Amino acid sequence: MRKATKLGFFLVCIAAVATALWLALLRGGILRQRERIAALTSLAARLTLERVPLRFSILAREGGMVRVKIKLYDLDGRMVREAEADLPGTELFFDFLVSPLGAAAAEGDLGRSLAGTWLAFPRVVFTDRLPANAGFDIGPTDTEGLPLVFGSASLSAGERAAIRAVYRGALADFGLAPAPSSDLRGGEVGSPGTRGPKDLGGVFGSAVHEVAGLARFEPGLVYKVVCRLKGGIEILED
Amino acid sequence: MSERLAAWKPLLYALADGASFLFTTASGLLVLLALVLVAAATAVAGALRERRLLAEAAGRPCKPAEAFGVALARLGSLALSFATRLSLLAGLALALVATIAAADSLRRLDEYVANRERIAELTATVRNLERRRRVADVSVLASSGGRFVAEFTYYAGDGTRIPQAQRVELRGRELYVDAVVCSFAYSEIASGRESNLALPYRAFSDEVPAAEGESLALLDELGVPRMYRLPDAELYGIAPGKFAARLQDVAAFLRDEAAARAAGVVRSLQGVAVHRPARPGERFTIWVEATGGITIKDDRVF
C-alpha cells in the first residue's frame, strides 16, 4: 500500500514537474510572441510613409555605357554605402524586393493590421542591355544579415529580428537563399506556402527605371528612389 | 456678339498672318522688296517709254544719259512720294501691328479656353480610368532547362477576358512585366490629388535583358490599352465621344513624354517592372492600381 502511495506520489510529482515545464515553455513562447508583436508594431509605427534608401547620379553616358554613382542610406538618413558602376545600356533599372511586413506576423489581428505595410529591399541595378542576374549588387547586409538600408541606431533587437525575418523570407521566396527553418508563427518567415494569410499579399520584385526616349535621367542631376509604406517605389529628382 | 466675332475671326487671322508673314519673316521681306522693285521698275519703264515717244515725236533719239536722268528723276519722284505718304504708311503699319496683336490675343484666348476644356476632359478621362484594373492573368505553363513559358490572358475595360491569350517563352527563372507609369498631378487643376496610369508593354527575365524582351499585345488597333476602353455606360462626367478622343491623348502620353508634359497634367513618367519567380503551375494576376503603378497579386481560389 505504501509502495502504491509512493508510486502515486512520484507520478503526481512527475506530472507536476512536466506541467510546470510545459507551462514554462508555453510562457516562454508567449513572451517571445509578445516581443515579436511589440517589435512588429513598433516597427510599423517607426517606418515613415515614405523613405529614401537610395540616391544616384548619372556621371556619364557614352559609347553605349552608363556610369552611375549610387549612395545607400539607412533609416536614420545616414549614408551607409557609396559605389560607382559602369553598366552597358541606356535604361537604368533599380530593382527591389518588396515584402509585406504582415507576412512576419502570420494570421490574426496583427497580421491584418500590418497588411498595408511593405518593406522594399534594394537588390540590384541593371539596364536594358544587362540582365538582372548580372546586375550591380545594391543589397549589402551587416554581419547579422540585416540590410544596411534598414539599419538604425534606435532599432531594438526585436525590430532588427523582424526586418531580418522579412528579408530572409523574401530572399527564400525568390530562391535566393535557403528557406528559414522555423515557421512564421515561431518568429521567422517561412516558405511561400506558410507565408501568412493570403490576403496579406505576397513578395514581389519591383524595378523602377527610366524609359529611353521618354524619360531619361540627366547626367549631373541627383535622383532619389522613394519607397512608400504601401509598396510603391518612385524615382524623383532630389 | 461672340458669334459675330467668330465670323470675323478667319478674316482677321488671314490679315494678321499675311502682315506677319510680310513684315516679320525673311521670305516676306523678300516678297516685299520684290514688289517694291517691280513697282519701281514699272514706273521707270513707263517714264522711259514716255520720254522715248516724246523724243521720237521731236525727231531725235533718246540718248542714254537722258534716259538715265529720266530714270533717276522717276526714282526720286517715287521716293518723294513715299516720303510725303510716310504718315499714311505709319498709320497703316500701326493698323497692321494692332491687327496682329488683336489676332494673337484672340488666338491665345481661344487656346486658353480650348486648353481648359481639354484639361477638364483629360481630368474626367483620367478619373474614369483611375479605378483599380485587372490587366492580365499570368500562368507559368512550364519551366525547365533554364527556360519558362508563361501565358498572358488580358482583360478588357469592362472586366471581361479577351479570348486570345499570348504565350511568352523566355530564358531564365524570373518573369519581369514592364510598364510605363504616367503620374498625373491635379494640383494645378483642382483638388491636389495624384493619380497614376500604367501601360504594361513588355516581358523579360532575369537572364534576358529588357531590350530583348517580348512585347505584350495590350494595345488595340488604335493604339489604346485594351483595359482602358470602357463601356459607355460606365463613363461619368464626360461624353463617350470626348472620352474616346482624350483616351487617345492619354495613350499618346504613355508613349511620348513631350506630349505628356505639353498637356500640363502629367507630373512624371517612368518605368516599373514587377517580377516573380516563374515556377511551373504558378498563377498570378497583374493589376494596374489607382495610385500605385502596377502590382502582382497571387491568384486565389475563393
A104-155 pLDDT, tens digit per residue, is: 555 555 555 556 678 899 999 999 999 999 999 998 999 988 999 998 888 8
Whether residue B133 sits in one domain with residue B65: no
Nearest residue in A to B277, CA atom: A174
Whether residue B46 sits in one domain with residue B163: no
Whether residue A205 and residue B269 make contact (CB cut-off 8 A), yes or no, is: no
Confidence of residue A85 (pLDDT cuts 50, 70, 90): very high
Whether residue B52 sits in one domain with residue B138: no
Amino acid at A2: R
Residues of B in contact with A223 (CB under 8 A): none
Whether residue B271 and residue A201 make contact (CB cut-off 8 A), yes or no, is: no
Q: Does B146 touch chain A (CB under 8 A)?
A: no
pLDDT confidence of residue A152: 86
Residue finishing a domain among B84, B105, B137: B84
Asked, for residue B196, whether it belongs to a domain, the answer is: yes
Residues of B in contact with A207 (CB under 8 A): 176, 272-275
Dihedral sign for Cα atoms in the order A124, A93, B135, B261: positive
Is residue A76 within 8 A of residue A153, CB to CB? The reply is: yes
Residue finishing a domain among B52, B84, B116: B84
- Strand ranges (DSSP E) for A24-174? 50-62, 65-73, 79-88, 92-100, 118-127, 136-137
To the nearest 10°, report the CA torsion of A165, A166, A170, A176: -30
Q: Which of B206, B276, B300 sits opposite A198 (nearest CB)?
A: B300
Whether residue A128 and residue B180 make contact (CB cut-off 8 A), yes or no, is: no
**How far, CA to CA in Å, does A12 sit from each of A16, A26, B164?**
6, 20, 72
Instruction: Show the cell assigned to A161.
Output: 529580428
Residue finishing a domain among B84, B107, B140: B84
A72 to chain B, minimum CA–CA distance in Å? 20
Is ipTM beyond 0.90?
Answer: no
pLDDT per 10-residue tile (average), chain B, 302 residues: 74 87 87 91 90 86 86 89 86 87 86 78 74 85 92 86 90 91 56 65 92 86 78 81 80 67 64 90 83 68 44
Asked, for residue B116, whether it belongs to a domain, the answer is: no
Amino acid at A220: G
Asked, for residue B110, whether it belongs to a domain, the answer is: no
- String of DSSP letters for B154-197: EB-TTSPBPS--EEEEEESSEEEEEEEEEEEE-TTTSS--EEEE
A35 to chain B, minimum CA–CA distance in Å? 30
Instruction: Show the cell assigned to B292.
Output: 500605385
DSSP H helical segments within chain A, as ranges?
Answer: 2-46, 109-113, 157-173
Whether residue B237 sits in one domain with residue B136: yes
Q: Is B94 exposed, middle or buried (0-12, 13-18, 19+ CB in 10 A)?
A: exposed
pLDDT confidence of residue A93: 94
> Could you give the number of structural domains in chain B?
2
**How far, CA to CA in Å, does B72 sit from each of B52, B64, B76, B79?**
15, 12, 6, 10
Query: What's the pLDDT tens digit per position in A31-64?
Result: 776 666 666 666 666 666 678 999 999 999 888 8
Is residue B218 within 8 A of residue B135, CB to CB? The reply is: yes
The boundaries of the domain holding residue B241 are 127-298
Nearest residue to B147 (alpha-carbon basis) of B207, B63, B219: B207
Asked, for residue B96, whether it belongs to a domain, the answer is: no
pLDDT confidence of residue B55: 87
Is residue B134 within 8 A of residue B155, CB to CB? The reply is: yes
Nearest residue in A to B288, CA atom: A232
Residues of A in contact with B302 (CB under 8 A): none
pLDDT confidence of residue B150: 94
Asked, for residue B98, whether it belongs to a domain, the answer is: no
Whether residue B248 sits in one domain with residue B153: yes
Asked, for residue B18, whether it belongs to a domain, the answer is: yes
Q: Does B138 touch chain A (CB under 8 A)?
A: no
Confidence of residue A79 (pLDDT cuts 50, 70, 90): very high
pLDDT confidence of residue A199: 36
Asked, for residue B265, whether it belongs to a domain, the answer is: yes
> Which residues are CB-contacts of B258 (< 8 A; sequence separation ≥ 6)?
none
- Mean pLDDT estimate for chain A: 79
pLDDT confidence of residue A182: 45
pLDDT confidence of residue B187: 43
Asked, for residue B135, whether it belongs to a domain, the answer is: yes
If residue B138 lies in a helix (H) or strand (E), which one and from where to where?
Answer: strand B133-144
Nearest residue in A to B292, CA atom: A232
Residues of A in contact with B298 (CB under 8 A): 198, 201-202
Whether residue B141 sits in one domain with residue B70: no
Whether residue B205 and residue A131 make contact (CB cut-off 8 A), yes or no, is: yes
Whether residue B227 sits in one domain with residue B141: yes
pLDDT above 70: percentage of residues in chain A: 75
Whether residue B233 sits in one domain with residue B154: yes
Q: Specify the range with the lowest mean pLDDT, choosing from A68-77, A154-163, A190-199, B19-28.
A: A190-199
Indicate whether A4 pLDDT > 60. yes
Whether residue B145 sits in one domain with residue B54: no
Interface list for chain A against chain B, based on CB atoms closer than 8 Å: 89, 91, 93, 95, 126-133, 173-175, 198, 201-202, 204-211, 214-215, 228, 230-236
Nearest residue in B to A234, CA atom: B270
Whether residue B260 sits in one domain with residue B148: yes
Indicate whether A201 pLDDT > 80. no
Whether residue B210 sits in one domain with residue B148: yes
